[in-house]
Amino acid sequence: MRPLPLLFLALACIMASTARTESFIEELDGPEPGYHYQGPLKPTFVLPAGFTPIPPDDPKAIKPDGERTWVSSVSPSENTIYSIDLVHYPDKSLSLSALLANARPHLESTIPGVEFEFYGLVEVNGDKWVFAEFYPRNEDDRRYNYLMTTVKERSLVSVNVITTKDEMPMYDAAIREALRSIYLKPDRSLLDEPEAEKREHPII
């Protein structure tokens, strides 16, 4: 199952382990081929319980534009993919209000008959995110998606979960726990700012 393209910048962005994946991140940032994030954020997070990291050269970790996602993981059934994408735009001004205004119309134009369980702003560990939970109204289309996106320090951060209407109940709690774990702390070697207070939002 291919991830939906991330199309939220300038109207261009859509979409086992409970231990921290820092060693996996270090592997991606090392000399081996993989996705390299050159920006001032150093996120911490956990993957959904039972999900396995996908190696960066696996086709499941490749987006439709040919680029690799920052971190991807897959459920034991291999039918649910949880990915985090992190891209730094040092020369662009990113706006959370623009994401909020443009994401829903974009989803409605690209997914016929899309139905939203929720669409709006949520707060996770001190950062505001645009959160969308949606699926096609067509009963024959079994896709089910969670999408959580924000901007911070000129970086676009997107968490995209692609599952099915049948499998969603199996992983919903683990997915929400993983979403609540994300903390976008700045890299102390690049920024000198106070730590954000950790808070969670009841929606997720």
Mean pLDDT of 148-163: 92
CATH of domain 22-180: 3.40.1000.10
Q: Residues 6 or more apart from 204 whose CB is under 8 A from it? A: 122, 124, 131, 148, 176, 179, 180
In angstroms, the CA 106 to CA 67 distance is: 21
More confident residue, 28 or 101: 101
Beta-bridge partner residues of 149? 130, 158
The winner for highest mean pLDDT among 10-14, 57-61, 72-76 is 72-76
User: What is the CA angle 147-116-123, rounded to 5?
Assistant: 50
Indicate the average pLDDT of the chain.
Answer: 76
Torsions phi, psi for 88 (to 5 deg): -100, 130
- pTM attached to this predicted model: 0.74
In angstroms, the CA 120 to CA 77 distance is: 30
In this structure, of 124-128, 175-179, 189-193, the range with the lowest mean pLDDT score is 189-193
Give residue-wise pLDDT tens across range 168-181.
999 999 999 999 99
- Residue 196 pLDDT greater than 90, yes or no: no
Give residue-wise pLDDT tens across range 62-75.
776 777 778 889 99
Residue with tokens 């991140």: 25
pLDDT at 62 (0 to 100): 75
Please report, for the chain, the start and end positions of each structural domain, with discontinuous segments joined by +: 22-180
